[in-house]
Amino acid sequence: MKSFLKILRKAGERMSWKWFSTGCALLTVCLLGIAIFQENGTLEKMYGQNSEKLFDLAYLQTGATDAKEIRLEDYARRIRANLEKPRLEPVRTKSVLSLAGTVGKPENLAVPYIWVHIEYREKRKRDLPATMDVYVPVKNGRFEKQIRLFQGKGEYRVFLRLPDREKEEYFYRMTSFTVSNTSDSLARDISYTMAGLGTELKLTSPETGYTRAQQAVWVRGKTDKSVQKILLQTTKGKESWKREIRVKDGQFEERIPLLFGKGIHRLDVMVPDHRRRGYHQEGAVLYVEQTGDIRREPITYSRLYAQRGIHLTRPVASGDTADLSCRVSGYIDRSAPYAKETTHMIASIRKGKNKATYFLPVKNYQFDDRIWLRFGPGNYDVRLYVPEITGENRDYFRFFTVARFEVNSVADRDLRYLLPSGGIESDHPDIRKLSKQILRHASTPREKARAIYEYVARTMTYDMDKYRNNEFHWSDSALKSLRTKKGVCQDYVFLTIALLRSADLPSRLVEGKAGGQRHAWVEVRVDGRWLAMDPTWGSGYITEKGTFAKRLDFRYFDPPQGFLDKTHRRTGFTY
């Protein structure tokens, strides 16, 4: 019995040491827990108010047993930055990540923005970038932002960075966490930089950072009124294109071509760099998917394009395909130099050695008209001009190039002598109606040509004031001749050719000299030959007193060979 008690006492001594060691370990853990608790404060201070605690509990009840508190870095604690949303990670959401938080003394920061960098951790979709940067403004010590998760369903890693207290370009990590997006929706925000936000840049079109378009996209927006110009740039792979556009009263718009074929084009909206004169810096980034597999070349613009406030809205790129005509439209900034005085734009086409000129009326600072591709199928070089604005009266006009592009015609016919041209509106309803009235008793092509010659020679009167004072205008045309019933040789010719072409009689304007003066007359294709007529000289003559005497003279309709050669010298022809 004594031996048994002795053995039991020794065993008890050994057990006491083990329990003593265990007790010491537990006491150490408790002390550490108390210390941590005291450093972080009460549970309410750690997790927020009751509603936030319920949110956290609800989150845990969804099955996210691996959820943990999002930890802030030392720098965040030093500047008293706090993240209110989200509180736990991994975050599970549908399409949109909600961020919110506070900064203790934002006035001590170099810039008032939180930098949010997001990385998609899975295989990216549609060649869209796997990363995105967002700058969230800090206002009155708070920041809040909803951000679209730009690659759809999958896992993202989010990094929040806080600005330095002195240097604008320095940021330090605030925290990072994982986000799981459960939505397949592919949507993206426009990514504004600090420079863009600093100039109050705001795009109204497109409205999102990822959109789809065919051939071109409208870019519209607002910015600070101090900004006078912005730079728009598209990039796809190694190819890029850019254009500088004017900002008027804080607003801008431009139709931007998608030149580089099917796929994603990056579009940068660049604002002036206030640190370097003449330079631009990134203001906003978005992505446009070109849905059509069409590659084109950019339009070439001269310096006058911007100086004269021209905005060409159609076409937006070089290399379009057309049939018999190409639409040219756009507008002029009202505040641009000579905008009010610009009543016409001029367009010329060239195909090989052939060329033609068209006048595009400007009404309410807008122009929209068709130019005719009259020389059959093939490639055309098209140039757009602005007129010289001068108060001097002259018998010629000067104009200057603002844009140049190419158009490919697939028309199967050469209609150079039948289509409308500059000042010759042969397709206008008033011209067509008059032509039918004049030709109601004519049957053969020659009879039709003679009837039109007689009408113009009888109806028109030579304008001696215009002749003496060189009062030529961009508005001179067949329609003007029809309305005023007077003019000089070009006005007679405009009306004559318009009527001939409306009757499907091929005709052209002959340039030359007559009576020692510059002169114009007409040739019309009749029975396989070019028939000459001069309705101006057939209308009357100038007396010795310098007045015009009306007298219908048929000698100048299809005169015998050599008759015109005595008084007229031909130098060329136009359409």
Give the pLDDT confidence of 298-324 residue by residue, as tens digits. Answer: 999 999 998 999 999 999 999 999 999
d(CA 136, CA 124): 25
When comparing pLDDT for 247 and 392, which is higher?
247
Query: For residue 546, what is the DSSP state?
Result: S
Q: Is position 272 within any domain?
A: yes
d(CA 202, CA 198): 11
Out of 154, 183, 212, pick the residue that ends a domain.
183
Distance of CA 283 to the CA centre of its chain: 16
Q: Report the percent of the chain where pLDDT is more than 90.
A: 78
Q: What is the dihedral of CA 47, 51, 53, 56, to 10 degrees?
A: -110
In 439-554, which residue ranges form alpha helices assigned H by DSSP?
A: 445-459, 464-469, 478-484, 489-502
Is the same domain home to 456 and 538? yes
Q: Is position 270 within any domain?
A: yes
d(CA 558, CA 302): 46
The confidence band for 177, taking pLDDT boundaries of 50, 70 and 90, is: very high
β-strand 378-387 against 229-236: which pairing, if any? Answer: unpaired
The confidence band for 336, taking pLDDT boundaries of 50, 70 and 90, is: very high
| Gyration radius (Cα) of the chain, Å | 40
Enumerate residues 6+ apart whose C-beta is below 8 A from 504: 418
Out of 183, 212, 244, pick the residue that ends a domain.
183
d(CA 512, CA 3): 147
How many structural domains are present in the chain? 5
For residue 274, give both structure tokens.
């206030």
Q: Is position 563 within any domain?
A: yes
d(CA 552, CA 535): 9
Is the same domain home to 238 and 163? no
* pLDDT at 17 > cutoff 60: no
CB-count exposure of residue 345 (10 Å: 0-12, 13-18, 19+): buried
Q: What is the DSSP string of 50-115?
A: HHHHHHHHHHHHTT-TT-EEPPPPHHHHHTTEEEEE--EESEEESSEEEEEEEES-GGGSSSSEEE
Out of 153, 183, 213, pick the residue that ends a domain.
183
Backbone angles phi, psi at 250, to 5 degrees: 80, 10
For residue 278, give both structure tokens.
């003449």
d(CA 490, CA 113): 67
Of 286, 126, 264, residue with least CA distance to 209: 286
Is the same domain home to 437 and 546? yes
Is the same domain home to 397 and 435? no
Overall average pLDDT of the 351-361 stretch: 94
Q: Report the percent of the chain where pLDDT is more than 70.
A: 88
In 148-298, which residue ranges form alpha helices assigned H by DSSP?
A: 194-198
Q: Is position 493 within any domain?
A: yes
Sign of torsion, CA 453 457 463 469? positive
Q: Which residues pair with 143 in a beta bridge?
A: 101
When comparing pLDDT for 127 and 415, which is higher?
415
Assign residue 378 the CATH number of its domain: 2.60.40.10
d(CA 308, CA 177): 53
Overall average pLDDT of the 450-475 stretch: 93
β-strand 91-93 against 171-181: which pairing, if any? Answer: parallel
Q: Which residue has the tokens 């602005």?
A: 386
Query: For residue 564, what is the DSSP state?
Result: G
Overall average pLDDT of the 461-483 stretch: 91
Q: Model-level pTM greater than 0.85? A: no
The confidence band for 46, taking pLDDT boundaries of 50, 70 and 90, is: very low
Q: Is position 11 within any domain?
A: no
Is the same domain home to 212 and 333? no
Is the same domain home to 254 and 129? no
Q: Which residue has the tokens 């015109």?
A: 564
pLDDT of residue 125: 85
Is the same domain home to 365 and 481? no
Is the same domain home to 470 and 538? yes
In 368-473, which residue ranges form alpha helices assigned H by DSSP?
A: 429-438, 445-459, 464-469
Is the same domain home to 468 and 486? yes
Question: Are 177 and 89 a contacting pair, CB within 8 Å?
Answer: yes
When comparing pLDDT for 313 and 55, which is higher?
313
pLDDT of residue 211: 96
Give the pLDDT confidence of 259-313 residue by residue, as tens digits. Answer: 999 999 999 999 999 888 889 999 999 999 999 888 899 999 999 998 999 999 9
* pLDDT at 53 > cutoff 80: no
Is the same domain home to 166 and 225? no
Q: Is position 327 within any domain?
A: yes
Spell out the SS3 assignment of 214-282: CCEEEEEEECCCCCCEEEEEEEECCEEEEEEEECECCEEEEEEECCECCEEEEEEEEEECCCCCCCEEE
Assign residue 461 the CATH number of its domain: 3.10.620.30
Is the same domain home to 176 and 199? no
Q: Is position 29 within any domain?
A: no
d(CA 106, CA 79): 9
Q: The domain containing residue 567 runs over which residues?
A: 429-574
Q: Is position 32 within any domain?
A: no
The confidence band for 70, taking pLDDT boundaries of 50, 70 and 90, is: very high
Question: Are 197 and 113 a contacting pair, CB within 8 Å?
Answer: yes
User: What's the order of all strands across the beta sheet hosting 507-514?
Assistant: 529-533, 517-526, 507-514, 568-574
Of 385, 409, 362, residue with least CA distance to 305: 385
Is the same domain home to 440 and 560? yes
